[in-house]
Amino acid sequence: MAPERLSEFDLIEHYFAPLAGPAGLGLRDDAALLTIPADHELVTTVDAIVAGVHFLPDDPPTTIGWKALGVNVSDLAAKGAAPLGFLLTLALPAQTEAGWLADFADGLGRAAALWHCPLVGGDTVTMPGPLTLSITAFGVVPRGEMVRRAGARPGDILAVTGTIGDAALGLPLAAGQETPWSGALSASERAYLIDRYRRPRPRIGLAGLLRAHASAAMDVSDGLLGDAAKLLAVSGVGATIEAQSVPLSDAARHVLAAHPPSLERVLTGGDDYEILCTIPAGKWGAFAAGAVEHGIAVAPIGRVTGEGTLDIMGPQGPLSFARLSYTHFSQESA
Amino acid sequence: MAPERLSEFDLIEHYFAPLAGPAGLGLRDDAALLTIPADHELVTTVDAIVAGVHFLPDDPPTTIGWKALGVNVSDLAAKGAAPLGFLLTLALPAQTEAGWLADFADGLGRAAALWHCPLVGGDTVTMPGPLTLSITAFGVVPRGEMVRRAGARPGDILAVTGTIGDAALGLPLAAGQETPWSGALSASERAYLIDRYRRPRPRIGLAGLLRAHASAAMDVSDGLLGDAAKLLAVSGVGATIEAQSVPLSDAARHVLAAHPPSLERVLTGGDDYEILCTIPAGKWGAFAAGAVEHGIAVAPIGRVTGEGTLDIMGPQGPLSFARLSYTHFSQESA
């Protein structure tokens, strides 16, 4: 059954109504109705992903919905917000298969359940072009406690969660591209990196600690260095980052051992969906201890300075890169 | 200057930051922060429009942003909500001209100012396909007062605002298609119908009256009869609509005089962005008087019944149509 035979009503009933939370009114009204708890504010963000630009057209459909929701929930987590729900815009080529839709909805539903972020509404349209998804995610924070990008102060510790660069290394593997380093990896390492590219794990467990301790935060989507530069610029400060302090997976370490120039891809490639934050030095101990309790790795990678520049230090001195991040409207290969 | 030379940062700074409300945090953070007034709830809706599907690729860019926002604000109005702001996802072909963007942002900004609905955030991505826009709009209603689709009761009066069918007649004129009836129209009538297709006027002035008096409401986007069928189905009721009571513009009357079969296009073509509502008979007087005070035309077009069917009565008896509305995933010409 191809979707040109399915009405929008059928699509919603078969695939999406099972994912809906109460705020979605059964997906049978024109709008969703969200109640914000007393003394809280609404945090909202939107990110779109396009086949061939942000994911590979032959990525497993179970991972595509997962990623589309994950990149948005990651923004909520970085702002210290708890997920409340999401709206889905799905622009589907007419030849999309029913099996694809079923798998897509399955992956999306599992991610939504995992992150307590139910579907509350959306729109489905015909796309005479590549499959395109846009998700608007909603979260709540106690009033006045949203963590901004602007807020880093000289002396703060710059830190990131998890490991950096895995997704950027996973992309060429997922695309089946030749690399000078993939021979250095085991099959399970390759699978790990590809999964990091396809299925971000937003750090929602860190939201409360960020509200309590962070002076600024954002998620790392476009590349660690470029995103750090954005946070610092809007805060009116600079920083020094120690490249050897950036936390890496074993797989990424094996890549760098085989091919040291891949450090640029690791530090600027993006799709990490880890959290970059600045923590005043006096709060670092409590923040790090809390992260351990939540089972989330956090690593200090540098210090905020008053200089207004971002300096990257390697073992032999300052490093420089052709560019700091993946940017839209330039070459798409990061 | 083509946008492949513009970074996403430049796009935001040049074209979209001037449209931003305070909740957008200068469009320099990962998320928007919305404060919902005490004792209110958030109403939110998303609609996407795709070049070649929902608007014509050569429509004036000042009207494209206007329409994308209008179709969403229309949903808010139908739910009895006051606009609060919107998120914009803009998926742009690489060859989009800077002049196009400037005009697009100008039209969008004028609509946003007119409807008191500022930009609060968004995402801009490269689209290797047709220009696609998705807008998420936010509104607020006093707690418990959102007007649902489900709620129509037998005996209620079915009513619509404004005039019906203008946009569906304007579409072939805007597309330069041959019609059997365009010769019956003056130049100003043709311009009127085209403008009705391109620039919806959401009935935000009616929101308070709907909250006070309507048992159910929705906006007419996919065609009067099809949308009425949806409202009735979810309410578990039926209705009789008197075709000759459906309010028409002078231009639409001239079309029907020249070509009576166009009645189907008028009643099922969609893109009206008028409000369809059901009003308990005892409240009709107050509702109609309030609408006059607000300068919004409302017309009774039929009665809700307990039968579960939608009957369309013409001057010579029941009418039937091949289909009741424009539907996605079928032929796109409505």
Q: Tell me the shortest Cα–Cα distance from B258 to chain A, in angstroms.
A: 33
Contact check, Cβ <8 Å, B127/A132: yes
Same domain, B304 and B170: yes
Same domain, B30 and B86: yes
Q: What is the pLDDT of residue B81?
A: 98
**B148 lies in a domain?**
no
How many angstroms separate the Cα of B242 from the Cα of each of A68, A280, B299? 46, 70, 11
How many angstroms separate the Cα of A109 from the Cα of each of A16, A27, A85, A113, A200? 9, 15, 12, 6, 15
pLDDT tens digits, B237-287: 999 999 999 999 999 999 999 999 999 999 999 999 999 999 999 999 999
How many angstroms separate the Cα of B152 from the Cα of each of A199, B229, B235, B283? 44, 12, 6, 13
List CB contacts (< 8 A) between B11 and chain A: 329
Output DSSP code: residue B131.
-
pLDDT tens digits, B38-69: 999 999 999 999 999 888 888 999 999 999 99
Of B85, B115, B142, which closes a domain?
Answer: B142
pLDDT band at A26 (very low <50, low <70, confident <90, very high): confident
Same domain, A167 and A204: yes
Contact check, Cβ <8 Å, B125/A35: no
Q: What is the mean pLDDT of residues B322-328?
A: 66
pLDDT tens digits, B280-306: 999 999 999 999 999 999 999 999 999
What is Dmax (Cα atoms) for chain B?
A: 63
Residue where the block lists tokens 């005039």: B163
List CB contacts (< 8 A) between A234 and chain B: 28-29
Counting residues of chain B whose pLDDT is more than 90, the rounded percentage is: 81
Of B90, B119, B142, which closes a domain?
Answer: B142
Q: What is the pLDDT of residue B326?
A: 59
pLDDT tens digits, A227-269: 999 999 999 999 999 999 999 999 999 999 999 999 999 999 9
- Pairs across A and B, CB distance < 8 A: 224
**Token pair recorded at residue B140:** 């607020």
A121, A129, A330 ranked by CB distance to B46: nearest: A121
Contact check, Cβ <8 Å, B3/A45: no
List CB contacts (< 8 A) between A87 and chain B: 44-46, 136
CATH of the domain at B81: 3.30.1330.10
Residue B3 has pLDDT above 50, yes or no: no
Chain A residue at shortest CA distance from B91: A48
Residue A334 has pLDDT above 60, yes or no: no
β strands within A29-174, DSSP E:
32-34, 40-50, 82-92, 119-126, 132-142, 157-161
Contact check, Cβ <8 Å, A50/B75: no
**Residue A258 lies in domain:** 157-319
**A332 lies in a domain?**
no
**A328 lies in a domain?**
no
**A80 lies in a domain?**
yes
**A333 lies in a domain?**
no
Q: What is the pLDDT of residue A65?
A: 94
β strands within chain B, DSSP E:
32-34, 40-50, 82-92, 119-126, 132-142, 157-161, 216-220, 238-242, 274-279, 298-305, 310-314, 317-319
Q: Which of B28-32, B73-77, B219-223 shows the lowest per-residue confidence on average (mean pLDDT)? A: B28-32
pLDDT band at B18 (very low <50, low <70, confident <90, very high): confident
pLDDT band at B25 (very low <50, low <70, confident <90, very high): confident
Chain B residue at shortest CA distance from A45: B31
pLDDT band at B5 (very low <50, low <70, confident <90, very high): low
List CB contacts (< 8 A) between B146 and chain A: 31, 33
Same domain, A205 and A300: yes
Strand partners, A47: A135
**B332 lies in a domain?**
no
Q: What is the pLDDT of residue B6?
A: 63
- A16 versus A3: the higher-pLDDT residue is A16
Same domain, A125 and A8: yes
Contacts of B313 (CB under 8 A, 6+ apart): B240, B241, B242, B243, B319
Same domain, B138 and B167: no
Closest CA to B213 of B161, B289, B280: B280
Residue A10 has pLDDT above 90, yes or no: no
Determine the Cα–Cα distance for residues B154 and B114; give it in Å rounded to an integer. 37
Same domain, A52 and A201: no
Of B114, B142, B170, which closes a domain?
Answer: B142
Q: What is the pLDDT of residue B169?
A: 97
- The number of domains in chain B is 2
Closest CA to B65 of B80, B51, B83: B51
CATH of the domain at B284: 3.90.650.10
Chain A residue at shortest CA distance from B123: A47
B47, B87, B327 ranked by CB distance to A123: nearest: B47
Residue A333 has pLDDT above 50, yes or no: no
**A151 lies in a domain?**
no
Determine the Cα–Cα distance for residues B198 and B70; give it in Å rounded to an integer. 10
Residue B308 has pLDDT above 70, yes or no: yes
**B287 lies in a domain?**
yes
Contact check, Cβ <8 Å, A127/B50: yes
Same domain, B35 and B181: no
pLDDT band at A25 (very low <50, low <70, confident <90, very high): confident
Q: What is the pLDDT of residue A5?
A: 54
Same domain, B168 and B123: no
Model pTM?
0.90
Residue A28 has pLDDT above 90, yes or no: no
Same domain, B251 and B117: no
Same domain, A68 and A136: yes
Residue B151 has pLDDT above 50, yes or no: yes
Q: Is A27 exposed, middle or buried (CB count within 10 Å of its CB: 0-12, 13-18, 19+)?
A: middle
Question: Could you report the predicted ipTM of this complex, rounded to two decimals?
Answer: 0.87
List CB contacts (< 8 A) between B36 and chain A: 36, 41-42
A29, A45, A328 ranked by CB distance to B31: nearest: A45
Same domain, B118 and B255: no
Q: Tell me the shortest Cα–Cα distance from B78 to chain A, in angstroms.
A: 8
- B90 versus B8: the higher-pLDDT residue is B90
